[in-house]
Each structure stands twice: as structure tokens, then as C-alpha cells.
Amino acid sequence: MEFILASKSPRRKELMTRIVPSFQIEVESIDEDKSYKLGPVEAVHDISYRKGINIAQKHKDSVVISADTIVVLNNEIIGKPKDEADAVEILNKLSDKMHQVITGYSIFYKGNVLTNHVITDVLFEKLSNELIMQYVSSKSPLDKAGAYGVQDNNKFHIIKKITGSYDNVVGFPVDEIKNDISRLLK
């Protein structure tokens, strides 16, 4: 059985190897902005579905997995920063606050689709301006929802506590996706 990951994220690619050792990558470009007008859970469901549906229609006998991750603070969706100044603003907004990381994913197989999501609570440390500037200068936050990557926490101590799936904060909740693949293939 062939598996296709509908994502160009290096983090998702790495986590996908914990689900299956061999898979293809195929990416469909979509406009995500219009989905952000929906509620947070509806937005990640909509985006993950649209990222995978065209690929799934071309590869009906393959398992196609697509995903989208957002950061939500007080019901406001925080996507990837537009630039360094936006990253600084986002990190200041998240400083010393609890927020949610929501990953929606869709699994397509033989005309069937299972769409689900995982929510993880993340509490940030109180971030100094100096730490924010050092972190943004590293360029790491610029391609990540919420302007941060949990994997950067060892070098830039920004996260105080994670309640729930660590993999979800990376952007690909491995255990939940594995379980849903098993359910869909039954």
C-alpha cells in the first residue's frame, strides 16, 4: 500500500516516518486565508481537507494524509508571521499566556475521508524583549504558526508547560493519526 504525505513541512516529513517507513510527498497549493474566517477547528478541518482532496482523487488506491496546524489565543487564529516585526508582535502577545495548538488532519483512502483534529494547551514563559529579539533573529520562527517551534525550546526557553500531545505542537499528532489510519483501513 502506498502512502502519500500532502505536506512540504520537514517536521511533518520526519514525524511521518514514525507512521510508515516509506511514503511519497506530493503538495497541492491552496489559499488558506479564506479558511481563517471560520472558527479554529473548522478552519484546520477545511484546510487539511483541501490540501489533500485533489491528490487523493489522483491516487485513489493510496492513503493520502494532509494536515494544518494553527495557534489560537482567546479564540483568535494566529498563523505564520508575515515578517520579523510580525513575529515579534506575535511572541509578545503569547508571552506569559496559555494558548492552544490545533492540528487538523485528513486521511483519504479509496474515496473515503476521515478528518479529525487534536488540541494541545501550551503555556509560554514570560518572554523578555531580549529573548524575543534573539529568537526572531535566528529566523526559526518565521515559517511556523504562532511564530515558534516547540523544538526550539531547548535553545530559546519560551515554553513553560505543554498539556497534551507534544507531536501535535510540532504539527503532526502521530499517535492519533496512526489510530485513525487503522480505523479507516478496516
Catalytic residues: 68
- Going by C-alpha positions, the residue among 47, 160, 151 that lies closest to residue 94 is 160
Query: Strand 112-124 vs strand 159-163: parallel, antiparallel, or unpaired?
Result: antiparallel
CB 68 within 8 A of CB 51: yes
- Going by C-alpha positions, the residue among 126, 123, 131, 48 that lies closest to residue 87 is 131
Q: How many CB atoms lie within 10 A of CB 21?
A: 8
